[in-house]
Structure 1
């Protein structure tokens, strides 16, 4: 009987071992990193994970998924990039410009998919908006500035001066503000932009806009979004309408935002990552721009900031916070 059991066990091992090897070979490894955690970037990450799951990539079954946040630190982003490069995942998803730049500087071979990056060319992640033959591609959250200005004018028809707080070290912010200044000037509107190097500098920068601007506009600057409540406080105290390019900011106290659906941006990014998991080379995939935007308005914030939202604006909103 012992010999029979031994033979059965041996045969069983011959059968199971290849299956285990197949399961191991079939396991995909996706790493995700973000420069910081805040609602917009968290929505991107959730969208990526949901798309992977919907397409059959299940954590612990055929997918190893790892996430690290740089907690707003470029030094942390660089360290995470080194760790991920050493781990050699099948794809790395980099959320926001600083994390994407750190990864692109660290690895020239591991597929990198950036997301929530406004201008990947200015950030030197890619040379152009065409397939570039490198290990980097991704999805941008670039928005039409003309539509942003139209929204500002719908909220403040007599708009003369716009204020903005930005991080001078974040390419997303500096690029957008340069373009916004030119676009506003064409309409006779002046831009006053105040730098805030650190998140802790944002309240002081916001207060410096009191009495100088008719409206405060916020981009997707990650430091600013992380400390958004300090801007809301200044806007409420000074009766200055606060307009955002990030819909999640409206829940936090902005009057309105016409911006990218960051969850859908994540889903789009997830689809791109899956193409790479299935064998496509990132260098053969041209960068894309998020294709779903939404208008969100906050009537409570409008009351707090001394503005009345017109009926046409309310009727055109996809979401109204009351």
Structure 2
């Protein structure tokens, strides 16, 4: 299977069309063309009852932040505007699972209309704190392993739904081999405290022998350990793979600095990692992921019972590349990737020229 054939892959055929039919409702986009348009928009907003949501994520980094922005924008486009008829309480756990638990208890006591948990650790903490307040999880790559859903795809609690990104592994491995055809060992730096990262490690160990490849997995308990863990791959790995690990994401510059020194290409699973130093990534668009999550949140705020909103999977894959970062890490990207990928170097240059 080539990367070109997997760029727009959908794993489950999830009925996101039912979600996406929630178009712009109750709120016209602000316009300076006429006073009447502005008045109509304000009137539409006023029709929506005041609501409150609480949002938490395990740590702040560009990928999760862009998802959160997508959620807020989607709600605003549907008539729930922060600071007008929507109160948003956002708290980051700063990478600390104990803090995530404290935030969860506080949110449960605040009793908002809905809680949005961005990342696996945050979702697990929120689920443990309340069985009554509607919870929408997002940025969770393995909801089954995280004990958010059962094997039938149903939530463990009636107040729970969400959007996950269980990326198919085989296209990721295809990408790794296209970038480094002669590779034998994949380096994987991960947080042993994140269920999604442990699950991916186990999946890699199962999948790699069929390709005559091995995995060198290096645990890193804290963001401050990422640089040292990456340097420990020197002479032992041929390429680095990382996917949705929040410790890695929060200290990604430390990983890229070490990888650049060691001439080890990094392949990730999100756009921002490529912008921050990875050679390539095959993954979802973070902002779009947030917008789709926001549609779920809107349905809850609009009065729909959360147990009528089924958990969904979003796996529309996009290839992101950085020939510049690849060169720094000792490889040249093949022609197929250059043809089919979104070049973040060109995006950055276009932005700089504006």
Which TM-score applies when normalising by structure 2? 0.82
Q: What are the Cα deviations for residues 79-133 of structure 1, in whole angstroms up to 9, with x where unaligned?
A: 1111111111111000001111110000000000000001111101122453446
Q: Does 2:162 correspond to 1:138?
A: yes
Question: Which residue of the partner structure matches residue 267 of structure 2?
Answer: 243
Task: Report how far residue 25 of structure 1 moved.
Answer: 9.1
Q: What are the Cα deviations for residues 223-254 of structure 1, in whole angstroms up to 9, with x where unaligned?
A: 01111111111211111111111221001110
Question: Which residue of the partner structure matches residue 203 of structure 1?
Answer: 227
Question: Which residue of the partner structure matches residue 193 of structure 1?
Answer: 217
Alpha-carbon separation, structure 2, partners of 1:201 and 1:291? 30
Question: Which residue of the partner structure matches residue 280 of structure 1?
Answer: 304
Question: Which residue of the partner structure matches residue 98 of structure 2?
Answer: 75
Q: Does 2:206 correspond to 1:182?
A: yes
Question: Which residue of the partner structure matches residue 145 of structure 2?
Answer: 122
Alpha-carbon separation, structure 2, partners of 1:131 and 1:220? 23
Q: Does 2:126 correspond to 1:103?
A: yes
Task: Report how far residue 283 of structure 1 moved.
Answer: 2.0
Q: Does 2:75 correspond to 1:52?
A: yes
Distance 1:45 1:129, change over 3 A: farther
Question: Which residue of the partner structure matches residue 238 of structure 2?
Answer: 214
CA contact (8 A) 2:231 2:259 kept: no
Q: Does 2:50 correspond to 1:27?
A: yes
Alpha-carbon separation, structure 2, partners of 1:320 and 1:186? 32
Question: Which residue of the partner structure matches residue 292 of structure 2?
Answer: 268
CA contact (8 A) 1:244 1:250 kept: yes
Equivalent position SS for 2:212: coil
Alpha-carbon separation, structure 1, partners of 2:285 and 2:85? 28
Q: What are the Cα deviations for residues 23-50 of structure 1, in whole angstroms up to 9, with x where unaligned?
A: 7992111111111000100011001001
Task: Report how far residue 60 of structure 1 moved.
Answer: 2.6
Q: CA RMSD in A?
A: 1.5
Equivalent position SS for 1:321: helix
Q: Does 2:309 correspond to 1:305?
A: no
CA contact (8 A) 1:264 1:292 kept: no
Distance 1:267 1:236, change over 3 A: same
CA contact (8 A) 2:118 2:140 kept: yes
With 275-284 and 197-206 compared, the bigger mean Cα shift is at 275-284
Tell me the number of residue pairs that the alignment of Structure 1 and Structure 2 aligns. Answer: 300
Alpha-carbon separation, structure 2, partners of 1:219 and 1:25? 38
Question: Which residue of the partner structure matches residue 316 of structure 2?
Answer: 292
Look at both structures and tell me which one has the larger radius of gyration over its CA atoms.
1
Alpha-carbon separation, structure 2, partners of 1:292 and 1:306? 29
Unmatched tracts of structure 1, length 5 or more: 1-22
Question: Which residue of the partner structure matches residue 339 of structure 2?
Answer: 315
Question: Which residue of the partner structure matches residue 276 of structure 2?
Answer: 252
Alpha-carbon separation, structure 2, partners of 1:42 and 1:280? 27
Which residue, out of 143, 158, 161, partners 2:182?
158
CA contact (8 A) 2:48 2:80 kept: no
Q: What are the Cα deviations for residues 117-162 of structure 1, in whole angstroms up to 9, with x where unaligned?
A: 0111110112245344611110002101001001101101112110
Alpha-carbon separation, structure 1, partners of 2:170 and 2:315? 17
